[in-house]
Amino acid sequence: MTDMTNKADWSSRRKGDAFVVHFSGSWVNGQPKPDMHLLHADIEAEPELHTLHLEADHLVGWDSSLLIVIRQLCEWAESQGLSTHLEGMPDGVRNLIVLSRAVPENKQTQDTCPDDFLSTIGETALAAYRGLDGYFAFLGQLCIDLFAFIRGRGKLRSKDFLLILQAAGAQAVPIVSLLSFLTGLIIAFIGVIQLQKFAADIYVADLVGLAVTRELGAVMAGVIMAGRTGAAFAAQIGSMQVNEEVDALTTFGISPMQFLVVPRVLALIFMMPLLCVCADFVAMAGGMVVAVTISDVSVLQYCHQIQVAVELSDLFVGIFKSVIFGLIIALAGCYRGLNCGRDASSVGQAATSAVVTSITWIVVADAIFAVMFHILGV
């Protein structure tokens, strides 16, 4: 049974322009609590109040239930224009209330959904503008550091650069080769089925060769590297940002752009053309397997037709695209990593954003190049 002598209770009185509330009894879980709406009514009934004093000289016991009541009462009083004073409360209660009110509310957990469609468009546009401003600042600093490196004033650790080259180049060859082989095989299979209707099986070599060298070789290598290396760049730099290693580099007078970004940008610019050429030849080999297997085209005929159909300019078009794609992947990965938040979940978000940004701009750039090369007649 509940001890009625220790039940939670309060009493109130007016003292000048202040309203004094005195808490007594046992304010713990399981004890019945008085209706605080009655207290609100008593306060509202008093005219020209300026302050609310909370006291508790005869508390038998208290726990979080008292803290919740006092916190809610303080917020309600402030909404009524009253200032609250907790000098009469126990030190533990007062300190916890002050601490709870000093910690800012986590805005990320709030429902920030706009009210309507136009608000969504406006907030998206503003976020894009702010991101674009930071991205241009990032590009400007990168250009300064790249020019400093070209003029021999930049610092680049050769050991770190070689490790990045290995991770972004040699270790990516197996997955690039496998997917390129399958891509060439699929293109050839679809093409040879249609060409057989016109007794033009030999032209499957033209289809595979031109499609791979001008478009798919560079795009496939770019998409693979965006998901593999771009995400790795963002995760690596993002983890350093979370662990405050980037701040430590700045404290020691080391430019994070020169130490982290420049080596990764140069590594992908150097390795993407090699991976593109590898993807081109492996994809043409996959097309040859299909052409020789399900049609009357021999290996020599296929290779000869490839030489006739594919010119060096076609190969250089794909190589040029791969350089730009490598630059896009490196920029997206490093930028998202440097702008990563300070919690663990931000690392995953940075890696995801780097992949999405890279693939999006690769497709956009490829479309622009396709139109541009058509106009130039390349």
Within a domain: 177: yes
39 and 163 co-located in one domain: no
CATH of the domain at 89: 3.30.750.24
DSSP bridge partners of 20 = 13, 53
Query: Which of 73-77, 112-116, 291-295 is predicted with the least confidence, judged by mean pLDDT?
Result: 112-116
90 and 165 co-located in one domain: no
The structure's pTM equals 0.67
220 and 276 co-located in one domain: yes
Q: Return the pLDDT at 115.
A: 59
Within a domain: 148: no
Rounded to the nearest 10°, the torsion over CA 41, 44, 45, 49 is 140
- Summarised one tens digit per residue, pLDDT across range 177-228 is 999 999 999 999 999 988 888 888 899 999 999 999 999 999 999 999 999 9
Q: Confidence band (pLDDT; 50, 70, 90) for 112?
A: low
Within a domain: 117: no
Percent above pLDDT 90 for the chain? 39
Distances (CA, A) of 42 to 36, 45, 295: 10, 5, 95
Question: What is the number of domains present in the chain?
Answer: 2
Q: Confidence band (pLDDT; 50, 70, 90) for 22?
A: confident
Beta strands in the chain (DSSP E): 9-15, 18-27, 51-62, 83-88
Which is more confidently placed, 204 or 109? 204
Domain end among 74, 107, 140 = 107
Domain end among 107, 140, 173 = 107
Three-state SS for 23? strand
Query: What span, in angstroms and rounded, lies between the C-alpha atoms of 55 and 57?
Result: 6
Within a domain: 256: yes
199 and 84 co-located in one domain: no
- Summarised one tens digit per residue, pLDDT across range 122-175 is 888 887 777 777 888 888 888 888 888 888 776 778 888 899 999 888 899 999
Strand 18-27 relative to strand 83-88: parallel, antiparallel, unpaired? Answer: unpaired
- Is the per-residue pLDDT at 1 higher than 50? no
- Summarised one tens digit per residue, pLDDT across range 223-273 is 999 999 999 999 999 999 888 898 888 888 888 888 899 999 999 999 999
- Is the per-residue pLDDT at 3 higher than 50? no
Within a domain: 65: yes
194 and 100 co-located in one domain: no
Within a domain: 264: yes
Within a domain: 147: no
Query: What span, in angstroms and rounded, lies between the C-alpha atoms of 270 and 144?
Result: 20
Within a domain: 354: yes
53 and 161 co-located in one domain: no
Structural domain including 220 reads 155-376
Q: Return the pLDDT at 254.
A: 83
Which is more confidently placed, 167 or 112? 167
Q: Return the pLDDT at 137.
A: 85
75 and 168 co-located in one domain: no
Domain end among 107, 137, 170 = 107
332 and 211 co-located in one domain: yes
Contact 211, 185 (CB under 8 A): no
292 and 178 co-located in one domain: yes
Mean pLDDT of the chain: 86
- Is the per-residue pLDDT at 103 higher than 70? no
Give the neighbor-by-neighbor strand order of the sheet with 9-15: 9-15, 18-27, 51-62, 83-88
What sign for the dihedral angle of Cα 341, 345, 347, 348?
Answer: negative
Q: Confidence band (pLDDT; 50, 70, 90) for 105?
A: low
